[in-house]
Structure 1
Amino acid sequence: MTFIPLSPCCLTGSRLTGTPRGIFEPAHQGERKVGRYHTTPSKTEGDENGTAKVIDGKLALVLLTDAFGLSLPNPKIMADAFADQLKINVFVPEYIIDPPPVEVFDSVAPLYPDQYASRSWFTTIYQIVEVLWKTWRWLPMLLFPKKQVPLAQSAINDLTSEGYTSIAVVGYCRGGAMVQHLLSNPVNTILVGGVICHPSPEKETWSKITKPTYWHLADHDQMFGEKDINKLRETFEKKKDDQGVDFQCKVHEDTVHGFAARPTLDHENTKIAFEESNSSAVEFCKKYLLGVD
């Protein structure tokens, strides 16, 4: 089964089109500390009273977004797809408040390798300075991932207090950094493991992670270079051999940072990587959350 088959009607640039069907549940509604997008499986024939059925109300998937948070439709549409395929509740926490506008970064964040290779040095420097000028107030958030960990942790605590007993986490870019920090925290016994897509390498967490992780990385990612990839494999392959901790890592060829969350139709390898990484997340959840081989 495919995750989201991409076609010209599905994308505008790197934005997924369509209308998310879930609801936004605000913070401070009851005892909830963190606002979130909440979605369930779509209604199928036989569902009663127009309510979609979940296979187990105590299981959940938490999707942690990139730095653009819920300002893009992508994480909501992807959450809907996960809910349909897994038949469980899926949550996308608003752990980034007031995210930066994604379009500001378009001129310096290529969608595929060498997209801007023909630019002059002058144009490149000008574009970087212009982006820094427009986004200076978000720089502390962008440069220091740990600042978002408390809200990400609170989102997990909210679900724990609501009676969820097992949670899988999938993170993209900044969300991938959050997954590393959450899995390294021994208090999070409710977490079964996570899928981590093109994150920053939060190396200080690696020695503390003892749960299954699947990693999907770009081979042209300045945030996670070849040395980081080699260190990751060395660290987690040793855990796999010594402790039996499941670890998988795929480096997607001819891709850049962001492929799993903000794909583009203009580049075939990016489309393939988007599909493979998110289908892998579905399989991970089936194995470790649902107990389906």
Structure 2
Amino acid sequence: MVCENCIKGFELTGTPEGSIQPDGSYFHPRPADSDAPTTSAVIFFTDVFGLKLNNPKVLADKMAKEIGVDVWVPDLFHGKPPFKVEDLEPYLGPVPGHKRTTWEFISMVYTLLPKMPGLYSVRPKVTDKFVTEYIQKLKKERGYTTIGVTGYCFGGGITLRFASGDLVDGAVIAHPSGVEAPLVKAIKRPTLWLCAEEDHALSDAVRKEAEQILASMKSSGGPWYEFVDYEGTTHGFAARPALEYPKVKDAFEDSLTRTVTFLTAIARGQPPTTKST
């Protein structure tokens, strides 16, 4: 599912410090003085702009430095993301309450239609096979035994799906698309959910159902989870934030802090948390 805010937003400032690998991935190595296990790593799954947009690289750099582990950002779209950086436009509704006009709806449809073949080519069946092989290869070649994952929008759906398997050890799910009850019921790993106040890709009803399912699972020994709802935000705030809005800026910064704290615990084999100690 792609909503209008999936394809809008802003580019973060900053110069990426990592490097593009032969397979197209972006990689930022662990700091030399890190005390985190060398067998731990983080994998970052992008939105539909992929690695052409600066944002995932800037965020991956920060995570590598603060978590203290290698961070990898796979090229989910093999160099051809469905949306180009030049397609990025300001949000119609950077904060809740915007009422979409008929013309805006028509404009969105005309924007999306030419992109549908590209989106179909990265449907879950295809993407999940690629991600599975990617993680398996990293583990084999780099010796990783603990993998934390984080994903935004399109990538949030990937982290949700992989939280049900044995390839990852914890997942951050930021304003995801494609949330369905069977996927939530299949979760086996700790999950941190970063949710916008208004999100057409994750409705209030679906978000509440997901939490109810996880609460029921936890009461009978299921995995740790936490939902964080950010007032004054819309879909995309954690990936392509409209930083001129104070609540959006605060939410973006807090969501990144919680992501780092959660993945730091996962990387060190500690109980999951989003609170600094």
Residue from 285, 288, 293 that aligns with 2:263: 285
Asked if 1:214 corresponds to 2:197, the answer is no
5+ residue gaps, structure 2: 1-8, 271-276
5+ residue gaps, structure 1: 1-12, 28-34, 43-51
1:260/1:74 Cα in 2 relative to 1: closer, same or farther (>3 Å)? same
Amino acid at match of 1:267: Y
Contact 1:20–1:80 at 8 Å: present in 2 too? yes
Asked if 1:233 corresponds to 2:216, the answer is no
1:238/1:211 Cα in 2 relative to 1: closer, same or farther (>3 Å)? same
The alpha-carbon deviation at position 216 of structure 1 amounts to 0.6
The alpha-carbon deviation at position 135 of structure 1 amounts to 2.7
Question: Which residue of structure 2 aligns with residue 164 of structure 1?
Answer: 144
Q: Return 192-201 or 147-156, whichever deviates more.
A: 147-156
Question: Which residue of structure 2 aligns with residue 132 of structure 1?
Answer: 112
- TM-score with structure 1 setting the length: 0.80
Residue from 43, 61, 72 that aligns with 1:80: 61
| Other structure's SS at 2:220 match | helix
Residue from 213, 216, 221 that aligns with 1:243: 221
Pairs aligned (count): 258
Amino acid at match of 2:57: K
1:62/1:239 Cα in 2 relative to 1: closer, same or farther (>3 Å)? same
State how far apart, in whole Å, the 2-side matches of 1:278 and 1:64 are: 14
Contact 1:108–1:128 at 8 Å: present in 2 too? no
Question: Which residue of structure 2 aligns with residue 6 of structure 1?
Answer: none
Asked if 1:66 corresponds to 2:51, the answer is no
Question: Which residue of structure 2 aligns with residue 30 of structure 1?
Answer: none
State how far apart, in whole Å, the 1-side matches of 2:115 and 2:85 are: 10
Contact 1:54–1:89 at 8 Å: present in 2 too? no
Question: Which residue of structure 1 aligns with residue 133 of structure 2?
Answer: 154
State how far apart, in whole Å, the 2-side matches of 1:146 and 1:136 are: 16
1:246/1:129 Cα in 2 relative to 1: closer, same or farther (>3 Å)? closer
Contact 1:180–1:202 at 8 Å: present in 2 too? no
Residue from 181, 184, 187 that aligns with 2:164: 184
Residue from 4, 11, 17 that aligns with 1:15: 11
1:22-58 per-position Cα deviation (integer Å, ceiling 9, x unaligned): 111122xxxxxxx31110245xxxxxxxxx3443321
Q: Greater CA radius of gyration, 1 or 2? A: 1
1:64-103 per-position Cα deviation (integer Å, ceiling 9, x unaligned): 1111110111111111101111111111111223102144
Amino acid at match of 1:271: K
The alpha-carbon deviation at position 19 of structure 1 amounts to 1.1
| Other structure's SS at 1:249 match | strand
State how far apart, in whole Å, the 1-side matches of 2:60 and 2:28 are: 7
Question: Which residue of structure 2 aligns with residue 40 of structure 1?
Answer: 29
